[in-house]
């Protein structure tokens, strides 16, 4: 099974997990499905990276064959936004609209794109973006020239909003989110604190805690609110 088939199978798994998440009402089940979802997304990102590396190597070989004299710098000045149908990347390069059209080369794969601008102010400029968040339509994607700008138009395969540009950015955001433990029931933290106080307390402290606990359990069994 090649990488495309593996990715397709994983994406099918992800769709089914999302379906089950929508139908599930049990928190424990949702937690298990969420963890599995993250695992599948990481597998998809890894397989897609492997696939893009092969595609970008071929694209890079093509680009390098047309490199003129001079050195190549990485393009870092850009922004992006989106419409229902396109993800748009705005690359700012002063004077780029004045050079020959064939000196601006853009290539696409299903999950990546690369831009190479040859011989602008004595330098070559290059930008490669891998692991796009969602697949794009290679045939319908294109570049457009604006004043001092290259506009890269990535056609979405599905009309849904992208929360970020790449899979790596998405995974980074997820790592920055509070962990499951940090979102746990506050009563769990209370119990841990009480256990610590009990284990470190003297006999009087232990008797006080035992009495309060017994009273709270009696109230709970009678359907009353817990005061403890």
pLDDT of residue 226: 45
Between CA 34 and CA 41 the distance in angstroms is 11
User: For each of the chain's 228 residues, which pLDDT tens digit applies?
Assistant: 677 888 888 888 888 888 887 887 888 878 888 888 888 888 888 888 888 777 766 665 555 555 545 688 999 889 999 999 999 999 999 999 999 999 999 999 999 999 999 999 889 999 999 999 999 999 999 999 999 999 999 999 999 999 999 988 888 887 776 655 555 555 555 566 667 666 766 676 667 767 667 776 676 666 545 444
Q: In what order do the strands lie in the sheet with 78-82?
A: 78-82, 86-92, 149-156, 136-146
pLDDT at 228: 41
Partner residues linked to 155 by β-bridges = 86, 137
Helix (H) / strand (E) element for 16: namely: helix 3-23
Instruction: Specify whether the CB–CB gap between 138 and 106 falls below 8 A.
Output: no
* Alpha carbon distance 200, 179 (integer Å): 28
Rounded to the nearest angstrom, the gap between the alpha carbon of residue 104 and the centroid of all alpha carbons in its chain is 29
- The CATH class, in words, for 3-176 is mainly beta
Q: Show me where the domains of the chain are located.
A: 3-176, 185-221
- The whole-number pLDDT of residue 192 equals 67
């Amino acid at each position: 099974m090649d990488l495309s088939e593996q990715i397709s199978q994983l994406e099918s798994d992800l769709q089914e997990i999302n379906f089950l998440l929508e139908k599930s009402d049990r928190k424990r089940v949702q937690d298990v499905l969420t963890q599995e979802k993250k695992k599948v997304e990481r597998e998809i990102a890894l397989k897609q990276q492997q696939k893009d590396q092969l595609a970008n190597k071929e694209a890079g070989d093509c680009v390098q064959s047309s490199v003129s004299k001079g050195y190549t710098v990485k393009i870092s000045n850009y922004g992006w936004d989106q419409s229902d149908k396109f993800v748009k990347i705005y690359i700012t390069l002063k004077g780029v609209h004045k050079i020959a059209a064939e000196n601006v080369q853009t290539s696409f794969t299903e999950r990546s794109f690369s831009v190479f601008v040859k011989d602008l102010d004595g330098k070559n400029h290059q930008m490669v973006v891998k692991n796009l968040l969602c697949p794009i339509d290679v045939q319908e994607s294109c570049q457009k020239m604006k004043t001092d700008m290259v506009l890269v138009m990535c056609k979405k395969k599905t009309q849904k909003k992208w929360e970020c540009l790449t899979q790596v950015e998405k995974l980074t955001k997820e790592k920055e989110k509070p962990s499951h433990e940090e979102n746990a029931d506050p009563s769990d933290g209370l119990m841990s604190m009480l256990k610590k106080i009990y284990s470190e307390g003297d006999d009087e402290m232990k008797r006080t805690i035992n009495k309060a606990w017994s009273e709270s359990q009696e109230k709970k069994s009678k359907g009353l609110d817990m005061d403890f």
